[in-house]
Homo-oligomer: A and B are copies of this chain.
Amino acid sequence: MLSFVGLGLYDERSITVRGRDELERADRAFAEQYTSRLAGASLADLESTHGIDIEPRDRAGVEQDPEPVLAAADTGRVAFLVGGDPMVSTTHVDLRLRAHDRGIETRVVHGTTAQTAASSLTGLQNYRFGTATTLPFPETHGGVPDSVLDTVEANRERGRHTLVYLDIHAAEDRLMTGDVATALLADHLDCAGVVVARAGSDDPLVRADELSTLADESFGPPLHLLVIPGDLHPLERDALSAFGDAPAATLDGN
């Protein structure tokens, strides 16, 4: 049995009770460490909370050498841990298909995600978000890629909000922060932004203002996300004022 278990958003308490049960009765547990990491908990924190050894796996250790995980699942219960929801990345769908082809029973235990949290914390309605995008570190693409700006503009034309994931180099523990992201985008867009920090923790922060203003602020420990709002309903406007300290003038354009 191979169970893909979502660790959820932030730390060792972000997992669901079902996920924790699945983890605690596993014979072996692996954690992938390349598509995402919990900002608020280390592997050691997870191990001590759940009382089980967890074997880390990098990209090569899953994609090029899945055999140890599959062999363990042939004969025992294996929990494969992933930050957020476990099947968001294609690499995990691929592993699940390999297990299925081999006759191994698979299970998915869902986790909370940044997508829902960005909406929940800001008060921006989930169904009014368009397609999401990811802002890469500038050196990887020589600045802000056109595809990011195109996605934001296409959403805004239809009145939709855009969730912008900020680049993560998990292997180097390098995470783009909200001030860097808003500074990059302020060169191309003249609009409001909403930074969400530490979604899923006990002290999340939401801050809404002009991109150029946010570029001069700091938002504390990771993880940071950015939302570019589209048209705002009155309730969304009220929520950004109340929970994101947004100046009324900033939201007038939306």
Contact = CB atoms under 8 A, between A and B. Distances in A.
Contact of A110 (B86, B90, B93, B117): B117
Q: Is the interface of A mostly helix, strand, loop or mixed?
A: mixed
Contact of A242 (B12, B85, B97, B115): B97
A110 B242 contact: no
A208 B86 CA distance: 21
A83 interface: no
Nearest to A122: B87
Q: Which of A20, A116, A235 has the most CB of B within 10 A?
A: A116
Contacts of A86: 120
Nearest to A100: B242
A242 B105 CA distance: 12
23 contacts: A9-B110, A13-B21, A14-B16, A16-B16, A16-B112, A17-B17, A18-B202, A85-B120, A87-B120, A88-B119, A88-B120, A90-B233, A90-B235, A96-B123, A97-B235, A97-B239, A100-B243, A108-B120, A108-B121, A110-B116, A111-B116, A112-B112, A127-B132
